[in-house]
Protein backbone atom coordinates (compact mmCIF):
# COMPACT_ATOMS: atom_id res chain seq x y z
CA UNK A 1 0.00 0.00 0.00
CA UNK A 2 1.28 3.49 -0.84
CA UNK A 3 2.14 5.86 1.96
CA UNK A 4 0.33 9.17 1.64
CA UNK A 5 0.55 10.75 5.09
CA UNK A 6 1.43 9.92 8.65
CA UNK A 7 -0.98 9.75 11.53
CA UNK A 8 -0.64 9.25 15.25
CA UNK A 9 -1.31 5.94 16.90
CA UNK A 10 -4.99 5.15 17.62
CA UNK A 11 -4.48 5.89 21.34
CA UNK A 12 -3.55 9.50 20.49
CA UNK A 13 -6.71 10.14 18.48
CA UNK A 14 -8.86 11.51 21.34
CA UNK A 15 -6.24 14.21 21.95
CA UNK A 16 -6.37 15.59 18.40
CA UNK A 17 -7.70 19.13 18.69
CA UNK A 18 -8.29 19.66 14.96
CA UNK A 19 -9.46 16.41 13.38
CA UNK A 20 -9.10 17.74 9.83
CA UNK A 21 -5.31 17.85 10.21
CA UNK A 22 -3.69 14.74 11.54
CA UNK A 23 -0.20 15.17 12.93
CA UNK A 24 2.78 12.90 12.70
CA UNK A 25 3.92 10.54 15.38
CA UNK A 26 7.51 10.11 14.20
CA UNK A 27 8.19 7.45 16.81
CA UNK A 28 5.90 5.00 15.03
CA UNK A 29 5.84 3.84 11.47
CA UNK A 30 2.07 3.70 11.18
CA UNK A 31 0.21 5.09 8.26
CA UNK A 32 -3.42 5.66 9.01
CA UNK A 33 -6.43 6.08 6.83
CA UNK A 34 -9.01 8.14 8.66
CA UNK A 35 -12.60 8.79 7.60
CA UNK A 36 -14.57 11.59 9.21
CA UNK A 37 -18.28 12.52 9.26
CA UNK A 38 -19.65 15.90 10.17
CA UNK A 39 -22.57 15.79 12.64
CA UNK A 40 -24.03 18.74 14.45
CA UNK A 41 -21.10 21.02 13.59
CA UNK A 42 -18.51 18.54 14.88
CA UNK A 43 -16.43 16.00 13.04
CA UNK A 44 -16.60 12.44 14.23
CA UNK A 45 -14.26 9.62 13.39
CA UNK A 46 -15.98 6.95 11.28
CA UNK A 47 -13.09 4.56 10.80
CA UNK A 48 -9.39 4.22 11.45
CA UNK A 49 -7.20 1.83 9.48
CA UNK A 50 -3.51 1.56 10.31
CA UNK A 51 -0.97 0.22 7.85
CA UNK A 52 2.76 -0.25 8.39
CA UNK A 53 4.71 2.20 6.28
CA UNK A 54 8.44 1.99 5.67
CA UNK A 55 8.88 5.33 3.90
CA UNK A 56 10.27 8.44 5.55
CA UNK A 57 8.11 11.41 6.39
CA UNK A 58 9.56 14.49 4.65
CA UNK A 59 8.31 17.74 6.20
CA UNK A 60 8.31 21.14 4.55
CA UNK A 61 7.21 20.31 1.01
CA UNK A 62 3.63 21.51 1.32
CA UNK A 63 1.34 19.87 -1.19
CA UNK A 64 4.10 18.48 -3.41
CA UNK A 65 6.23 15.45 -2.61
CA UNK A 66 10.02 15.58 -2.94
CA UNK A 67 9.59 13.53 -6.11
CA UNK A 68 7.23 16.17 -7.55
CA UNK A 69 9.76 18.90 -6.74
CA UNK A 70 12.52 16.87 -8.41
CA UNK A 71 10.29 16.32 -11.47
CA UNK A 72 9.78 20.09 -11.73
CA UNK A 73 13.52 20.66 -11.59
CA UNK A 74 14.07 17.97 -14.21
CA UNK A 75 11.47 19.59 -16.45
CA UNK A 76 13.38 22.87 -16.28
CA UNK A 77 16.61 21.00 -17.00
CA UNK A 78 15.02 19.26 -20.00
CA UNK A 79 14.03 22.68 -21.35
CA UNK A 80 17.67 23.76 -21.03
CA UNK A 81 18.82 20.61 -22.85
CA UNK A 82 16.21 21.14 -25.59
CA UNK A 83 17.38 24.73 -26.08
CA UNK A 84 20.98 23.51 -26.43
CA UNK A 85 19.92 20.87 -28.99
CA UNK A 86 17.86 23.37 -31.00
CA UNK A 87 20.73 25.90 -30.91
CA UNK A 88 23.15 23.28 -32.22
CA UNK A 89 20.74 22.42 -35.04
CA UNK A 90 20.11 26.07 -35.96
CA UNK A 91 23.79 27.00 -35.93
CA UNK A 92 24.48 24.78 -38.92
CA UNK A 93 21.40 25.31 -41.10
CA UNK A 94 19.73 28.59 -40.01
CA UNK A 95 22.26 31.13 -38.64
CA UNK A 96 19.65 33.93 -38.58
CA UNK A 97 17.29 31.97 -36.27
CA UNK A 98 20.32 30.92 -34.21
CA UNK A 99 21.20 34.59 -33.67
CA UNK A 100 17.62 35.48 -32.74
CA UNK A 101 17.40 32.66 -30.21
CA UNK A 102 20.80 33.56 -28.71
CA UNK A 103 19.68 37.17 -28.37
CA UNK A 104 16.45 36.07 -26.69
CA UNK A 105 18.38 33.82 -24.29
CA UNK A 106 20.62 36.74 -23.33
CA UNK A 107 17.52 38.69 -22.22
CA UNK A 108 15.54 35.85 -20.60
CA UNK A 109 16.47 33.36 -17.90
CA UNK A 110 16.26 29.64 -18.54
CA UNK A 111 15.74 28.87 -14.82
CA UNK A 112 12.00 28.34 -15.34
CA UNK A 113 11.54 26.41 -18.57
CA UNK A 114 7.80 27.03 -18.93
CA UNK A 115 8.16 30.78 -18.38
CA UNK A 116 11.01 30.87 -20.90
CA UNK A 117 8.92 29.06 -23.55
CA UNK A 118 5.83 31.15 -22.77
CA UNK A 119 7.80 34.37 -23.34
CA UNK A 120 9.47 32.98 -26.46
CA UNK A 121 6.06 32.10 -27.98
CA UNK A 122 4.80 35.63 -27.45
CA UNK A 123 7.92 37.40 -28.77
CA UNK A 124 7.11 37.11 -32.49
CA UNK A 125 5.76 34.60 -35.03
CA UNK A 126 9.33 33.43 -35.80
CA UNK A 127 10.03 32.99 -32.10
CA UNK A 128 6.78 31.05 -31.72
CA UNK A 129 8.12 28.47 -34.18
CA UNK A 130 11.35 28.22 -32.18
CA UNK A 131 9.37 27.75 -28.96
CA UNK A 132 7.28 24.98 -30.49
CA UNK A 133 10.46 23.28 -31.71
CA UNK A 134 11.96 23.50 -28.20
CA UNK A 135 8.78 21.97 -26.70
CA UNK A 136 8.88 19.17 -29.28
CA UNK A 137 12.56 18.43 -28.61
CA UNK A 138 12.01 18.59 -24.84
CA UNK A 139 9.24 16.01 -25.06
CA UNK A 140 11.16 13.70 -27.40
CA UNK A 141 14.33 13.89 -25.32
CA UNK A 142 12.45 13.16 -22.10
CA UNK A 143 10.55 10.20 -23.54
CA UNK A 144 13.14 8.61 -25.81
CA UNK A 145 16.68 9.76 -25.13
CA UNK A 146 17.08 10.47 -21.43
CA UNK A 147 18.52 7.46 -19.60
CA UNK A 148 16.30 7.21 -16.52
CA UNK A 149 17.97 4.07 -15.18
CA UNK A 150 21.37 5.72 -15.45
CA UNK A 151 20.03 8.71 -13.48
CA UNK A 152 19.00 6.43 -10.62
CA UNK A 153 22.34 4.61 -10.60
CA UNK A 154 24.29 7.87 -10.70
CA UNK A 155 22.18 9.42 -7.95
CA UNK A 156 22.75 6.42 -5.66
CA UNK A 157 26.47 6.38 -6.45
CA UNK A 158 26.94 10.12 -5.98
CA UNK A 159 25.09 10.18 -2.65
CA UNK A 160 27.07 7.20 -1.35
CA UNK A 161 30.40 8.67 -2.49
CA UNK A 162 29.55 12.08 -1.06
CA UNK A 163 28.48 10.62 2.29
CA UNK A 164 31.66 8.53 2.48
CA UNK A 165 33.86 11.52 1.56
CA UNK A 166 32.19 13.80 4.11
CA UNK A 167 32.41 11.21 6.89
CA UNK A 168 36.06 10.53 6.03
CA UNK A 169 36.86 14.27 6.09
CA UNK A 170 35.15 14.61 9.45
CA UNK A 171 37.05 11.68 10.95
CA UNK A 172 40.38 13.03 9.68
CA UNK A 173 39.53 16.50 10.95
CA UNK A 174 38.45 15.37 14.41
CA UNK A 175 41.25 12.88 14.84
CA UNK A 176 43.81 15.62 14.10
CA UNK A 177 42.16 17.84 16.67
CA UNK A 178 42.42 15.11 19.30
CA UNK A 179 46.08 14.45 18.41
CA UNK A 180 46.88 18.18 18.66
CA UNK A 181 45.37 18.36 22.15
CA UNK A 182 47.62 15.59 23.53
What's residue 56's pLDDT?
Answer: 75
C-alpha 82: how far from chain center: 19
Q: Could you tell me the fold of the domain covering 67-145?
A: 1.10.1200
Please provide residue 96's backbone torsions phi and psi, each rounded to the nearest 5 degrees: -65, -45
Every domain of the chain with CATH number 1.10.1200.210 lies at: 67-145
What's residue 131's pLDDT?
Answer: 97
Cβ neighbors of 50 (< 8 A, separation 6 or more) are 7, 9, 10, 30, 31, 32
CB 146 within 8 A of CB 77: no
pLDDT tens for the 182 residues of the chain, in order: 444 444 444 444 444 444 443 444 444 444 455 566 677 777 766 666 655 667 777 777 777 788 888 999 999 999 999 999 999 999 999 999 999 999 999 999 999 999 999 999 999 999 999 999 999 999 999 999 999 999 999 999 999 999 999 999 999 999 876 555 55
Amino acid sequence: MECSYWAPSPRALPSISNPSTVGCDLSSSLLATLRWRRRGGRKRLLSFRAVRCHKMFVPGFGEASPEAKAAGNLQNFFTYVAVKIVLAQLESYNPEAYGELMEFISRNSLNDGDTFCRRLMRESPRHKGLALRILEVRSAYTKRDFEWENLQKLAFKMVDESNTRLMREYVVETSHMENDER
